[in-house]
Amino acid sequence: MTGDASRRAPGGRAASAPLMGKATEPTIFEYSAPGRRAWSLRTTGLPEWSAEELVPAAHLRAEPLALPEVAERDLVGHFTRLSHRQYSVDLGAYPLGSCTMKYNPKVCDEAASLAAFRDVHPATPPVGAQGWLQVLVELEEALCEITGMAAATLQPAAGAAGELTGLLLMRAWHELAGERRTRVVVPESAHGTNPASVTLGGYTPVTVGTDARGLVDRAALAAVLGPDVAGIVLTNPNTLGLFEEEILEIAQMVHDVGGLLYYDGANLNPILGVVRPGDMGFDIVHLNLHKTFATPHGGGGPGAGPVAVSQRLVDLLPGPRPVRVGDGYGFATPPRSIGRIHSFHGNALVLLRAWCYIKLNGGEGLRRVAQVSVLNANWLHEKLRGAYDFPFDRPVMHECVVSAASLKRETGVRALDVAKRLLEEGFHAPTVYFPLVVEESLMIEPTETESPETVAALAEALVSIAAEARAHAAAGEHQPAHDAPRTTPVGRLDETRAARKLVATFDARERPAD
Amino acid sequence: MNAPEELHYTPDHEWVRAEEGGARIGITDFAQDALGDVVYVQLPTVGTTVAKGDTIGEIESTKSVSEVYAPLSGEIVAVNSDLAAAPQHLNEDPYGEGWICAIAASAPDELESLLNAEKYRELTAT
C-alpha cells in the first residue's frame, strides 16, 4: 500500500523518511577522546589561567568531571543523526489523541526569530518594550474573547503549570470567603493530568464516573457534591472526544454548592469560535497554546498555559500583568494577586507565536480550524467502523476513541501492536490505553492540519492492519504486528523490562574496556 | 479467566482467601490481564488499620496505575515484600505468589458481602 498512498498523502505519511542504516547511534560519551574540543580561544589574544590559579584548592575537584570531549564536526554529526531518527510534526501526521499535535506554521517561527522581539531583555522598562507589551495585551484580549472570560495571565509555562495556577486561584477564592474546602471533583473522562494537579493544589480528588453515553454521570456527581467541594475540573469535549451536552446543568449543580468550574483547555481545538467556556459557566480556563494555537509542543517546546478567569476572580490573577495605560502599555499587579507563577512574562516567544497564529487566522479562520478538526475526526472514525469496536457510537468532536478489544480476542493483536505496526506505515502512533475507561483503547486525533488525502491514508493503514491481523489469525500464522516496528531505526522496545529494571543514567566510566 | 471456587471477590477485582489469623488479599487473573505487565507494586504498611474500601496500595503496569482497595476492614498483618523485586508474580501467579497482603478482619461478616466465584465470573464475562 506504500507506493500509491504515499503520493496521495504528501503531508502526512513519512514512510520515505531517509535513513542510512539500522546501526545504533552511540551516546556522545562514547565518542569522547581526551583533550578533543569543539571550541578554541587560541586567536582571541586573551591570557590563559589554569583553574588552580583562580580557585582555592579546597573547592577544586580531585578528578575532572567526566564530560564528553568531542570535536565540533563529531558533535554536529551525532546530534544531526539523532534528529534524523526522530518523528516530528514536520515529518508527518501525528494523530496523538488528548494532546493536539498539529503542524506549526513557519511564519510564526519567523516572527519569533525577529531580532526586534528576540533580543529584547525581559527586564527592559515598559517604555522600551511597547511592541512586546502590545503583543501580550492583544493576546490576552484575544484569548479572553475566544474563551468568554474577563482577564487572563500569560505566565504559566505549560498545561500543568496552568492547571496548578487555576487550582491556586480556586483556593485563594475560597480562602477570601473564609472557607476551607477540601475536595475537587474530577470526572473519569477528564484530562489525564487533572487528578495529579488537584493533589498538587492541596485538594483531594473525587472521581465521578461516566454514563452509558460517555458523559459525566450526573447522578454520581450529585451524590458527591457538598459544601466541602471547592470545584470541578472538566474537559469539554471530554477525553472520549464527546461534548458534555449537559454542561449548563452541571455548572448549575456545582455553583449551587458554592464550587467553581475549572475548564481544562486540552480539548479547546474543536470549539474555537463555536462555543465559549465562559458561556458554559466556567470560572477558570487554562489554554494550551502549544496544542490549540499551533506553537511547538513536546520536546520542541517550551509550551505556554495561560489561565483566563471570570470577572469575580480577576483581582486574584498572578502579576504583574501587561495592561493598557492611556495610549500605551505598562504593568499592573492585581490587588489580591496570588503572586508570580513564572519569571517575567512567561515563555514570551511562544506567546508571540500564538498571537501570530490568531492574527493570521482571524475569527473566521479559527472557527474553520474547529470545524475541519471535527470533520476530520468524524470522517476517520466512520472509516474505522467494522475494523475496530466503537465503545461510544455517536458523533465525536476533534478526536475519536476506538477499541481493539475484539481484535485482541480474535487475533491476539492488541492496541499496542496496532500502534507499533502503524509506525511501519509511516505514521506516528495514536494514544493507546487511555482513556482507562475503554478497554484496549486507541485515541486518534488527526487535527485540521492534515489533508483529506492524509486522513484517508491513515484510515486505510489502520483498517489494513486490522485486516492483516484477522487474515493471519484465520490462517494460524504468526502475527507480523507482534514484531512491529520492523522498519524503524529502533525496533520494539521491552517496555516491561525497562520499567522493572530502570537504568536512568549513563556512566562512561562503567564502559567495558575495548 | 481463572477464578478459583474457594475465593471471595470484589467488583473491583480483588480476591480474598479466608485463612487462620488473617485474610489473604490479591488481585484477580482478570485484573492482571487487563493491567498488562506489572512493573511496580506499592504495598501497605504492616500494622495499619483500614476500613473496607480504603486504598491500600497501588499497582503500576506498562499501561496504567491502579489502586488496590481493602476488601475487608481490619489490620494489615502481613505484606508480600517479594513483590518489590518481583512484581511479575502478580501476572504469573495472581492467586499464589502474587498475593499482596493479609488483613486480620475486624468485621468478619463483611466476607459475606463479597462475590462468590460464580458471581465474579458473571461480572467479568464479556
Locate the domains of chain B by residue range.
8-108
**CB within 8 Å: B39 and A436:** no
Measured CA distances, A246 to A145, A258, B105 (Å): 23, 19, 43
User: What fold characterizes domain A366-500?
Assistant: Aspartate Aminotransferase, domain 1 (3.90.1150)
Q: Residue A450 pLDDT more than 90?
A: yes
Task: Report the gap between the CA of A228 and the closest CA in chain B (Å).
Answer: 20
| Rounded mean pLDDT, A28-43 | 88
pLDDT band, residue A514 (cuts 50/70/90): very low
| pLDDT computed for residue A300 by the predictor | 56
Residues of A with CB below 8 A from B11's CB?
none
| pLDDT computed for residue A511 by the predictor | 52
| Rounded mean pLDDT, A205-216 | 91
Q: Residue A22 pLDDT more than 80?
A: no
SS (H, E, C) A393-426: CCCCCCCEEEECHHHHHHHCCCHHHHHHHHHHCC
* DSSP-derived 3-state class of residue A140: helix
**CB within 8 Å: A495 and B62:** yes
pTM score of the predicted model? 0.87
User: What percentage of chain A exceeds 70 in pLDDT?
Assistant: 95
| Rounded mean pLDDT, A224-253 | 94
Contact A203, A259 (CB under 8 A): no
Q: Residue A509 pLDDT more than 70?
A: no
Interface probe with A: pick from B12, B13, B39, most Cβ of A within 10 Å: B39
Alpha-carbon gap, residue A162 to A197, rounded angstroms: 9
Chain A stretch 380-419, residues whose beta carbon is closer than 8 A to a beta carbon of chain B:
405
Cell numbers found for residue A158: 505549560
Candidates 2.40.50.100, 3.40.50.1000, 1.20.1250.20, 3.40.470.10; correct CATH number of B8-108?
2.40.50.100
**CB within 8 Å: B64 and A500:** no
Sign of CA dihedral A498, A502, A506, A511: negative
| pLDDT computed for residue A510 by the predictor | 58
Q: How many inter-chain contacts (A to B, CB under 8 Å) are there?
A: 21
CB count in 10 Å sphere of residue A361: 18
| pLDDT computed for residue B105 by the predictor | 92
Measured CA distances, B108 to A49, A141, A336, A367, B95 (Å): 78, 62, 54, 61, 21
Choose the weakest-confidence range: A4-13, A124-133, B32-41. Answer: A4-13
Q: Residue B48 pLDDT more than 60?
A: yes
Minimal-distance CA residue of chain A relative to B39:
A500
pLDDT band, residue A7 (cuts 50/70/90): low
Minimal-distance CA residue of chain B relative to A406:
B126
| Rounded mean pLDDT, A97-102 | 87
Cell numbers found for residue A274: 463555536
**CB within 8 Å: B39 and A500:** yes
Q: Residue A3 pLDDT more than 60?
A: no
Question: Bridge partners of A260?
Answer: A231
**CB within 8 Å: A439 and B34:** yes
Choose the weakest-confidence range: A83-87, A117-121, A149-153, B74-78. Answer: A83-87
Minimal-distance CA residue of chain A relative to B87:
A500
The answer, for A504 touching chain B at a CB cutoff of 8 Å, is no
**CB within 8 Å: A495 and B63:** no
Interface probe with B: pick from A407, A500, A502, A503, most Cβ of B within 10 Å: A500
Which carries the bigger pLDDT value, residue A219 or residue A487? A219
Cell numbers found for residue A382: 466512520
The answer, for A217 touching chain B at a CB cutoff of 8 Å, is no
Q: Residue A6 pLDDT more than 80?
A: no
Q: What is the DSSP string of A167-190?
A: HHHHHHHHHHTT----EEEEETTS
* DSSP-derived 3-state class of residue B12: coil
Task: Report the gap between the CA of A302 and the closest CA in chain B (Å).
Answer: 26
Domain boundaries, chain A: 5-83, 106-361, 366-500
Measured CA distances, A254 to A168, A216, A234, A247, B109 (Å): 18, 13, 11, 10, 38
Which carries the bigger pLDDT value, residue A240 or residue B94? B94
Q: For A322-367, what is each residue's pLDDT tens digit?
A: 999 999 999 999 999 999 999 999 999 999 999 999 999 999 999 9
CB count in 10 Å sphere of residue A382: 13
Residues of B with CB below 8 A from A405's CB?
126
Per the prediction, chain A carries an average pLDDT of 91
Strands (E), A312-372: 321-325, 328-332
| Rounded mean pLDDT, A50-69 | 89
Measured CA distances, A132 to A112, A203, A504 (Å): 11, 37, 41
Is A106-361's fold the same as A366-500's? no
Which carries the bigger pLDDT value, residue A283 or residue A299? A283
Residues of B with CB below 8 A from A433's CB?
36, 63-64
Contact A170, A231 (CB under 8 A): yes
Alpha-carbon gap, residue A307 to A299, rounded angstroms: 22
| pLDDT computed for residue A1 by the predictor | 44
**CB within 8 Å: A496 and B39:** yes
The answer, for A492 touching chain B at a CB cutoff of 8 Å, is no
Q: Residue A47 pLDDT more than 60?
A: yes
pLDDT band, residue A116 (cuts 50/70/90): very high
Task: For A78-107, give one letter per residue: b (16+ CB within 10 A) or e.
Answer: beeeeeeeebbbebbbbbbbbbbbbbbbee
| pLDDT computed for residue A25 by the predictor | 87
**CB within 8 Å: B63 and A433:** yes
Specify the residue for cell string 512491529.
Answer: A484
Alpha-carbon gap, residue A381 to A459, rounded angstroms: 8
pLDDT band, residue A257 (cuts 50/70/90): very high
Chain A stretch 333-372, residues whose beta carbon is closer than 8 A to a beta carbon of chain B:
none
Q: Residue B91 pLDDT more than 70?
A: yes
Q: What's at A379, amino acid-wise?
A: W
Minimal-distance CA residue of chain A relative to B34:
A439
CB count in 10 Å sphere of residue A293: 32
| Rounded mean pLDDT, B54-62 | 92
Minimal-distance CA residue of chain A relative to B40:
A500
Q: How many residues belong to chain A?
A: 514
Residues of B with CB below 8 A from A436's CB?
64
Choose the weakest-confidence range: A179-183, A238-242, A253-257, A482-486. Answer: A238-242
**CB within 8 Å: B39 and A499:** yes
Q: Looking at this predicted complex, what is its ipTM? A: 0.77
**CB within 8 Å: B62 and A436:** no
| pLDDT computed for residue A250 by the predictor | 97
Task: Report the gap between the CA of B26 and the closest CA in chain A (Å).
Answer: 20
Q: Residue A2 pLDDT more than 50?
A: no
Q: What's at A158, amino acid-wise?
A: A
Q: Is the link from the previous residue into A306 a cis peptide, with omega within 30 of 0?
A: no
Cell numbers found for residue A464: 489494513
**CB within 8 Å: A436 and B40:** no
| Rounded mean pLDDT, A129-156 | 98
Minimal-distance CA residue of chain B relative to A409:
B126
Q: For A405-437, what is each residue's pLDDT tens digit?
A: 999 999 999 999 999 999 999 999 999 998 888
Sign of CA dihedral A263, A268, A271, A274: positive
Q: What is the DSSP string of A216-229?
A: B-HHHHHHH-STTE
pLDDT band, residue A43 (cuts 50/70/90): confident
Alpha-carbon gap, residue A195 to A206, rounded angstroms: 8
Q: Residue A162 pLDDT more than 50?
A: yes
**CB within 8 Å: B64 and A433:** yes
Cell numbers found for residue A489: 531505526
Q: Which residues neighbour A450 within 8 Å (Cβ) at sequence distance 6 or greater?
A: A11, A12, A93, A95, A376, A458
CA-based end-to-end distance of chain A: 45
The answer, for A497 touching chain B at a CB cutoff of 8 Å, is no
Strands (E), B28-113: 38-42, 49-50, 55-61, 65-69, 74-79, 101-105
Q: Residue B101 pLDDT more than 80?
A: yes
CATH class of segment(s) A106-361? alpha beta
* DSSP-derived 3-state class of residue A504: coil
The answer, for A499 touching chain B at a CB cutoff of 8 Å, is yes
Residues of B with CB below 8 A from A434's CB?
64
CA angle A263, A266, A272 (to 5 degrees): 80
